[in-house]
Amino acid sequence: MTVAATTLAVLLDLFCLFLGYRFWFRPAPAAAGYGVPADPRGDAGAYLTVKGLRDGTFGLVGLALLVFAGLRAEAWFMVCVALIPLVDMVIVLRHGGARAVAFGIHFATALVVLLSAALLFAA
């Protein structure tokens, strides 16, 4: 159980780092994949940079918690972080994004993050 819980948590943290990287260095495709396309050369450029910083930071904090604080701290972190994809889902829906993206990506991500938290609590 501990190996599965830790592996899923590490994968989710690394995925956050990947998302952060993508929003910094490939912002237009990243925004389209998010569900609300944005022009990185316009006003949306700051939004895309901030989103990249947010996601990358969550990945780094998650990895640091695993290494320095343990599984229980990571589990509580995952519970809190699950709010982010839920709010992202609402943002996509409010701004005319596809329901399939809102639910298929963001809601599903929230469920996986909560599953990771449950596994970490059980380990």
pLDDT for the residue numbered 79: 98
Mean pLDDT of 63-92: 97
Angstrom CA distances, 112 to 31, 63, 109, stand at: 21, 17, 5
- Domain limits, the chain: 2-122
> What pLDDT digit, counting tens, does each position of 18-76 carry?
999 999 999 989 999 999 888 767 777 888 899 999 999 999 999 999 999 999 999 99
Model confidence pTM above 0.75: yes
Q: Are 9 and 74 in contact (CB under 8 A)?
A: yes
Contact, 84 vs 61, CB < 8 A?
Answer: no
**CA 62 to the chain's CA centroid:** 11
DSSP 70: -
Q: Given this model, what pLDDT does residue 40 score?
A: 66
